[in-house]
Amino acid sequence: MSLRNTESHYGKLTIIMHWLMAAMIIGMIVVGFVMDNMEDGDLKWKIYALHKATGVILLILALFRWYWTLSNKKLQPLESYSQLDIKLAHAGKWFLMLLILLMPVSGLIMSIAAGKSVNMFGLFTIPGLDEKNHQIAGLFHSVHEIAAWIISAVVGLHILFAFKHHWLSKDATLTRMLGKN
C-alpha cells in the first residue's frame, strides 16, 4: 500500500490519520460532555488541562489533514454511487473537516481570552491574555458548545452512512478506509 492516495485506494497516511483522528475526536467529545457535568475539583481541572492540550494536537493534525487532502489524488467515486451520494459525501466530508478545525480553534480562543493558559503536556505553555476579554471568551464558549453538539451529530451520521454502505449497499466505501480493497 502506497503512502499517498491513488484514484482507487486511500494511502496509508490517509487511513492512519482518519482512524487516529476519529478516535481522538470521539474521545474529546465524550470527555467534553462528561467534564462539563463534573463537580469542581482537582480531577475536573486536570481533565480540562488534558482536553485543551489534546485539542491543540488535534488542531495541528487537522491542519495537516487539510494540506494532505488538498495535495493528494482524489479517489474516484464507486460506480454504485448516485450523483446525490457523491454530492452528499463531498459536502459532508468538508463540513466535518471544517468542524474539526472549528472545535480546537474555538476552544483555544476561549481559553486564551479568558486568561487561561494551555499547558502542552509540560513541554511548553500557550499563555492566556493578561487582560481577560470576557466577551470574546463567552462568544467562543458558545461557539465551542454549539459546535460540539453539531459535530456529535455529524460524526454520528458519518458512522451511520459508513455502516449503511457496508451492510445495506454492500459496497467498498468502508473497506476502502480500512485499506482492504
Tell me the per-residue pLDDT of 30-41, one tens digit each, with 9 for 90 and over. 999 999 999 999
Query: In 48-159, which ranges are E strands?
Result: 118-119, 125-126
CA distances from 130 to 107, 114, 127, 139, 149 (A): 18, 9, 9, 18, 31
7 in any annotated domain: no
Each residue's pLDDT tens digit, 86-131: 999 999 999 999 999 999 999 999 999 999 999 999 999 999 999 9
Domains in the chain, number: 1
- What is the share, in percent, of the chain residues with pLDDT greater than 90? 98
For residue 135, the model assigns a pLDDT of: 98
Q: Pseudo-torsion of CA 88, 93, 94, 97, nearest 10°?
A: 150
53 in any annotated domain: yes
Give the separation between CA 77 and CA 1, rounded to whole angstroms: 19
Give the separation between CA 99 and CA 106, rounded to whole angstroms: 10
5 in any annotated domain: no
Q: How confident is the model at residue 180 (pLDDT cuts 50, 70, 90)?
A: confident
Contact status, residue 106 vs residue 140, Cβ threshold 8 Å: yes
35 in any annotated domain: yes
6 in any annotated domain: no
CATH number of 47's domain: 1.20.950
Range of the domain at 89: 12-178
Give the separation between CA 113 and CA 109, rounded to whole angstroms: 6
Single-letter amino acid code for the residue at 95: F
